[in-house]
Amino acid sequence: MKLLFLLLLGMASLRADTGLQLLVHTPGSSSDGPSAGATYSFPDTAVEDGSAVSFRLRNTSTTQVYLVSAFLSSNSSFGISGTSLDKCIASGSAEDFNAAFVPLAMGLSSGALQIAYKAYPVSSGCPVDTLPNFDVMTLTTLQGNGLAATLSVSVTDGGSSTQLRYGDTIAFGQVAIDSVKTLTVNVKNVSNGPLALPTPQLISPVFSQPPFSLGSLSDLPTTLQPGADASFTISFAPTQAVLITSSTLELGTRQYPLSGIGIPGAGLQSLLVSYTLPNGVHYNVSTASPIDFGSVIAGSSTKFTFTVLNPQTNFDALAVPSAAVSGSGYSLANVPFPQTLKPGEQASFDVLFSPAQAGTAAATLTIGSLQYGLIGKATGAKLNPVFQFTPATLASQQQAQLSIQFTDAPQASSIGTLSVSFRSAVAGIADDPAILFVTTGGRNMSATITAGSANATFDGQNSLTFQTGTTAGTLTFMLSFADGDSYKKSVDILPSTIQLASAGATRQAPNLVVDVTAFDNTYSASKLLFNFYDANGNAMAPGGITLDESQDFHQYFFGGNAAGGAFALQAKFPVTGDLTTIGSVDVTIQNSQGQSKTQRLAFQ
């Protein structure tokens, strides 16, 4: 037995068919998705906006099902699309379709998604014509709540403006090949509060160079106040005589299909211009977007072969007077013009892109009265830079030298940017402000690459000086260029014991004062040990004095300190009696890497 069915939306609710399951399917997913249930509710949706869902109808019966057609209900706030017509669905197979809720007014709307079916013998195959006398059952009830309108979208063609609902098609009509038609889309905030304006996007999955294009969006605001509006443009520049419908304008969740018909133009406008890449891939030329030559290494060249065809559908021969290109780095070769092309005849020539230096280069190709934009990007050859440091092993609290050399001299001159970044090895410490280039006082500076030179230069010098800071971690130097090329070198600054910079001892009656300047690149300084000696160098009783200053060091390092791991400490020891009997002192400081000890410091 075979079932014959169709989809429709109505208000009837009859019996269910356990052999057919309606599922909420995610397009692209390998899974069918959950059951739609007795009621499927769309999210609350503003008037003129829309919400969509993809359904999958799975045939779980042991017989075939025949899908006839889809119908819209009397409630035009719901719609169905994407179903196949006159298709038999085998047992275990499925068919996907879409349903949308596009409210016309505020308030609740509902409609029954129904199926019509009839017993039909499998031996007869799929029916040619729709069969009468269907039984009807309800798959699910669709519900949605319409909210007050937020954005009002319209399109203007010439002086005529048309309001757009979710899913409405923006039609360009007939446009001559190599001509451009531009429409204006207006978006207005009709709500009572400010609204974020989504960035318009064109979705053209089947085109590498789509005939539709968006105009500049640089002046489009990100927010619309109540009553405010904004506009942008969409253009259609067909390259072939055909109906084109495979593009969609997306405005946030709103979707508007685009359609246009390319027709032959008059005179040279009716010529079909195409080009072939070096790898043999062939494209039709569109005036809607420039012809992209891609990236080429400066000093080398790439060639596109252009073909001009007088279509067989033209009645007259067409005289092509000339071809020319304007723009640095571009040239023509094997130009056959002037030439008269009869219907069906074609002629080809080459456009070469041979940039001399890195950067983006634009040009205009002119064929008779026709003009096409060209664009290309020149990059430098891979430089393979060698980052050389002096000293070769870096440590904290250094002023070190960096030079950049090239194993192969660059073929082209360019200006790059050298930057340094830092990743701290100390938990809770994000950065060290002492890490910088001495010349600029910052972390970026220009690097000049000269063709034929084995070294980069920095303000005319072959090397630069930088500070390593006082925090353990990793320094990363990056040489980057405007074309996107970049080269990195990372160097570790290892954790170390506390490094003593200076120390001194003085008598300031009635105190003995000890001053120490040092840095701890681990931020873990803790215990201090002071050993005192008499005037003859003998240890004094009661022996060393130990202080645990872990809490004070932690508060200093992690309490908004802007000096990295550097610190200065002063210890005062009150003395009763003759200060001159105490001749010297030494200090030991401990951190997570071990101990550091000063020399004996004579009291002054």
309 pairs with which residues across the strands? 272, 346
Partners of 472 in beta bridges: none
Long-range Cβ contacts of 25-34 (<8 Å, 24+ apart) = 25/54, 25/55, 25/56, 25/96, 26/54, 27/54, 27/96, 32/56, 32/58, 32/94
Residue 551 tokens, joined = 């809490």
How far is residue 380 from each of residues 48, 199, 388, measured CA to CA in Å?
51, 34, 22
What would the two tokens of residue 508 be?
């300031």
Residue 390 near residue 289 (C-beta atoms within 8 A): no
Rounded-to-integer distance, Cα 267 and Cα 407, Å: 57
Q: Which residues pair with 259 in a beta bridge?
A: 171
Answer for the pair 253, 50: CB distance below 8 angstroms, yes or no: yes
* Least confident piece of the model among 166-180, 331-345, 486-500: 166-180
Q: Are 57 and 22 in contact (CB under 8 A)?
A: yes
Q: Which of 253-262, 359-368, 408-417 has the lowest mean pLDDT?
A: 408-417
Measured from the Cβ of residue 218, the count of other Cβ atoms closer than 10 Å reads 5
Across the chain, mean pLDDT equals 88
- Could you identify the residue written with the tokens 């035009």? 76
Beta strand 212-214 pairing with 229-236: antiparallel
Nearest to residue 431, comparing CAs of 419, 422, 441, 440?
422
Q: What is the pLDDT of residues 277-331, one digit of tens each?
A: 998 888 888 776 799 999 888 888 999 999 999 988 888 899 999 999 999 999 9
Angle at 85 between CA 83 and CA 89, to 5 degrees: 80
Could you count the other beta carbons within 10 Å of the beta carbon of residue 245? Answer: 13
Which residue type is seen at 549? E
CB count in 10 Å sphere of residue 81: 12
Q: What is the DSSP string of 23-49?
A: EE--TT-SS---B--SEEEPPPEETT-
pLDDT of residue 284: 85
Q: How many CB atoms lie within 10 A of CB 134?
A: 16
Under a CB-based contact definition with an 8 Å cutoff, are residues 280 and 194 in contact? no
Evaluate if residue 10 carries a pLDDT over 60.
Answer: no
pLDDT number for residue 264 = 77
Name the more confident of 175 and 266: 175
d(CA 531, CA 597): 11
Residue type, 172: F
Work out the percent of the chain whose per-residue pLDDT is above 70: 89
Helix (H, G, I), strand (E, B) or coil at 122: helix
Collapse the DSSP code of 488 into the 3-class scheme (helix H, G, I; strand E, B; otherwise coil) and give the result.
strand
What's the rounded Cα separation, in Å, for the pair 454 and 197? 51
CA-nearest of 263, 174, 247 to 214 is: 247
pLDDT value at residue 8: 41
* Res. 578: pLDDT tops 50: yes
pTM for this predicted structure: 0.48
The string of DSSP letters for 506-574 reads EEETTEEEEEEEEE-TTS---EEEEEEEETTSPBPTT--EEEE-HHHHHHHHHSS-SSTTEEEEEEEEE
Model confidence at 486: pLDDT above 70: yes
- The amino acid that residue 535 corresponds to is A
Does the pLDDT of residue 125 top 80, yes or no?
Answer: no
Radius of gyration of the chain (CA): 39
Q: Find out whether 475 and 435 touch, Cβ atoms under 8 Å.
A: yes
* pLDDT average, residue stretch 186-195: 94
pLDDT of 598 reads: 95
User: What domains are defined for the chain?
Assistant: 2-147 (2.60.40.10), 151-263 (2.60.40.10), 270-379 (2.60.40.10), 385-493 (2.60.40), 499-602 (2.60.40.10)
The SS3 call for residue 579 is helix
pLDDT at 52 over 80: yes
| Per-residue buried b or exposed e for 477-511, using 16+ beta carbons within 10 Å of the residue's own CB | bbbbbebebebebebebebbbbbbeebebeeeeee
Q: Are 604 and 515 in contact (CB under 8 A)?
A: no
The answer to whether the CB of 89 falls within 8 A of the CB of 60 is: no
Model confidence at 134: pLDDT above 70 = no
Q: Specify the pLDDT at position 250.
A: 94
- CB neighbours (10 Å) of residue 94? 18
**Token representation of residue 379:** 């990059």
Between 15 and 95, the higher pLDDT residue: 95
